[in-house]
Structure 1
């Protein structure tokens, strides 16, 4: 009687399932249910104390408790990975666009991204751009034996700064104040 009822139920559910990729997963789950119903009487012959509902309840409670513990760790790890990949992709896109606009220079773009829990968005905190011009580079002055610190202002100004800030602020949709440009 149980097997007939289960087959009837499975047939009804298969008729309701949509005709797409979900149908094969539904058939698989329904097949597992049917196999369980068929095997249940044979297991009871060998073990009179066997109760399928009890085992299902234990498995369900174990899965629920372990999911709650692991979910927060999984979510945190997933957000960190997504943030890192997002920042790397934005860096590559920005670098490619800058080198396309100004082929006489080479650029290294570093984008820092943070995840906002409330709005569930990744927000660009700041962008650092290292600009190096092609050709011969100027030698930096080296002082030996002098304990005085030499201030080295590496920030870029002028036309390059304006082009880089305009390009990146439009491309990344951020304020130009969040973009810092340095020369090598």
Structure 2
């Protein structure tokens, strides 16, 4: 038991000397914090390795690291990483879209409180530039007062109730200008319409 304790203390001392030497030769840049993180993990492994062996005699840290390394080098790891990255980007895009729509409605209701608004924004993520691009903004205006009766078209095959009347006057233009200046986009991609509910 004393011999095992002696080996453990020697391993910790060697690890600390090694970590100190590596930190001294590292340049002061962004890479240093990542190197310190990895070196800290190495020190934790050296410290807890004998403690784990007390509870599990068959524990071999090197076999676990070899399994992890082989998994990271395999093609399944690359596929899994790409799958998780795609799912994460899809969720991020959806959350960004919802937040942008909420912010758009808040801005419109603060600037023009006489109406209620609905927003539908089409965005896409540009991988090369790592930015979100707004392709289209559609703003629906709902009057707070008396609502218009919906226009109903009756054909022999089906009944169609139009829910949108595009605004082309001053009201639509001022909303386009507000959103264009707020989001630094062209007013041409903003569509404003009366929403008949």
TM-score, normalised to structure 1, is 0.76
1:14-53 equivalent positions in 2, closer than 5 A: 29-36=42-49, 53=62
Higher relative contact order (CA 8 A, sep 6+): 1
Shift of 1:23: 8.1
**Corresponding residue for residue 68 of structure 2:** 59
**Corresponding residue for residue 115 of structure 1:** 125
Q: CA deviation digits over 1:129-178, x for unaligned, max 9?
A: 00111211121344556669889571012121111101111111111011
Per the alignment, do residues 172 and 39 of structure 1 end up closer, same or farther by CA in structure 2, a change over 3 Å counting? closer
Shift of 1:10: 3.0
Runs of 4+ in 1 over 4 A off after TM superposition: 14-17, 22-29, 37-40, 143-153
How many pairs align? 176
1:93-104 equivalent positions in 2, closer than 5 A: 93-104=103-114
Q: Is the 8 A contact 1:2 1:37 kept in 2?
A: no
**Distance in structure 2 (CA, Å) of the matches to 1:124 and 1:32:** 47
Structure 1 unaligned segments of length 5 or more: list them.
Answer: none
**Corresponding residue for residue 28 of structure 2:** none
**Distance in structure 1 (CA, Å) of the matches to 2:43 and 2:189:** 55
**Corresponding residue for residue 30 of structure 2:** none
Q: Is the 8 A contact 1:94 1:171 kept in 2?
A: no
1:174 to 165, 181, 185: 185
2:143 to 121, 128, 133: 133
Higher mean Cα deviation, 148-157 or 67-76?
148-157
TM-score, normalised to structure 2, is 0.71
Q: Is the 8 A contact 2:16 2:43 kept in 1?
A: no
Per the alignment, do residues 56 and 142 of structure 1 end up closer, same or farther by CA in structure 2, a change over 3 Å counting? closer
